[in-house]
Amino acid sequence: MSHEIFMPALSSTMTEGKIVSWTKATGDKVDKGETVVVVESDKADMDVESFYDGYLAAILVGDGEVAPVGSTIALLAETEADIPEVQKQAQQQSSSASPAPAATPATPEPAPVAAATSQNGSGGRSSGRTVASPRARKLAKELNVELSNLQGSGPYGRIVAEDVQQAAGQPVSAPTVTPVMPAAPAAAPVPMTAATTAPAPSPAPAITPGQVVPFNTLEGAVVRNMNASLSVPVFRVGYTITTDALDRLYKQIKSKGVTMTGLLAKAVAVTLMKHPRLYASYTEQGVRYNSSINVSVAVAMPDGGLITPVLQNADQVDIYSLSRRWKDLVARSRSKQLQPDEYNSGTFTLSNLGMFGVDRFDAILPPGQGSILAIGASRPQVVATDDGLMGVKRQMQVNISCDHRIIYGADAAAFLKDLAQLIETNPQSLTL
């Protein structure tokens, strides 16, 4: 007579999820494969689809509420006539059942809901389904706008709030997403200091002195991950890399849409091909050598926390496609539209604080990875040249943090040496 809708595991680190909004109301007909609820995981907002046809009989976890992964969040009746009986069942369940324990990050069985995984297509449709942001869905309900009639202007044709406002004849609010690549000052050179992996965070909201502000979902995930990371024995190795040749290359090809983040990720990926230990990961059984070089890059989120969009198979993708992919990933990460494999499949991580003028720093190792590379700003330095004279070269400091259970000092040093050689002597190869 009924089916349970569980809180799904939308990422490997997710232990609980927050209901952003129900797209169906009690009593509504639900088709198999239709979005029934939008869930905020620790990294993104995801449309969750029903595995069954039926009627939404009872919502057990309302908008804005949190539930553990694997717990029941709603009940679906098979027929409209079954709704009253299922609602009685829901009342009994809520009064007698104790809260469900948090499940492991595996998909619960049986899995009654599925996270939507495709956002391709025009007009905000994917496989016949309307794809819209949670805010757009909420506005559409308030303004009585039919989403299926709209042409989405968001990434991959996704319908965003501005599309709904325009359709309703309301003033369109200005977008709040910070630009991906802030412009350098007009008089400043454009080398590595303009090579940002993330824009500056938005100004912090006004707070009252003494106030305790709860962590948001993403910040809570960062706390858990960092606590786990600090239990790993880590060592760090630093290296100085001259960036003159890379800066010249960047100036030549940036007009074609190439980003410095793309260049750095490509350089790292190409170098990793010679050093499989550096993108391996630890298991209790031994070293897991990963089959793909997936470069994660840390991005600060406007409302707190950070996320690491992944440039998958970065060693195999040309620099122009890689840069386009990176811009798309950043845009969708800031509107919480990434799919799980776009932020949890990394095998090596970059963190770049050079945009803030930071000379050097150490990065904390992400859980499940063997290495993370911290990149500082590139600055003019007075150095001794090969002919014994003094000259000026642009140099940057990089520091790698490695899991000492599987990676040793010589491994890290060899990787940094090869990375420096590529950047200093043959960056043109990154465009081939």
Q: Which residues are tagged catalytic?
A: 404
Q: Contact, 362 vs 336, CB < 8 A?
A: no
The encoded tokens of residue 135 equal: 């805010």
Neighbouring C-beta atoms of residue 69, cutoff 10 Å: 24
* Residue 302 to residue 374: CA distance in whole angstroms: 21
Phi and psi for 310 in degrees, rounded to 5? -115, 125
In a 3-state reduction of DSSP, which class is residue 191?
coil
Using CB atoms within 10 Å of the CB of residue 125, give its burial: 0 to 12 exposed, 13 to 18 middle, 19+ buried.
buried
Radius of gyration in angstroms for the set of CA atoms belonging to the chain, rounded to a whole number: 24
Q: CA 88 → CA 85, 154, 221, 421, distances in Å? A: 5, 42, 36, 70
Residue with structure tokens 């965003």?
160
For residue 36, how far is the Cα from the chain centroid? 23
Phi and psi for 355 in degrees, rounded to 5? -60, -25
The encoded tokens of residue 237 equal: 């190795």
Can you say whether the dihedral through the CA atoms of 246, 248, 250, 253 is positive or negative? negative
Q: Which residue stretches of 102-216 are H helix?
A: 134-143, 161-167
CA count, 13 A, side-chain hemisphere, 322: 31
CA count, 13 A, side-chain hemisphere, 227: 7
Q: Contact, 5 vs 23, CB < 8 A?
A: no
In a 3-state reduction of DSSP, which class is residue 16?
strand
